[in-house]
Amino acid sequence: MRKFTDEHGGGWIAGVKEEKTPRHHGRWYLVFHPDGGDTPSLATPEVRWQSQASAERTIGTMSLFELRRRLAGAERRSGLPVTDGAERTPWIGRTITSG
């Protein structure tokens, strides 16, 4: 698990969930839930790992930009209303610059 804030200052936790399946690969996937909130978890099943340990290690090294990008995508797909009344900033067309 990893705590972070979205672009609007809301607290979130990135974690993993295991899909109950007989296959051995890709059982663990990325989920987000509000830090201290009661909103349902937002799943991102396109981001998968073979083990819980590798999932947690990867989440720990993800950039804040990547976490926010994945969260924004999960929110758009969920259809849940945005709680702060602001429309989420789309990540498409944004760039990361160095230095």
Domain boundaries, the chain: 2-78
Give per-residue pLDDT as tens, 19-53. Answer: 988 777 789 999 999 998 777 789 999 999 999 99
The residues pairing with 44 across neighbouring beta strands, listed in sequence order, are: 30
Whole-number average pLDDT of the chain: 82
Give per-residue pLDDT as tens, 84-93. Answer: 444 544 444 5
Residue 95, Cβ neighbours under 10 Å: how many?
4
Q: Is the pTM of this model over 0.85?
A: no
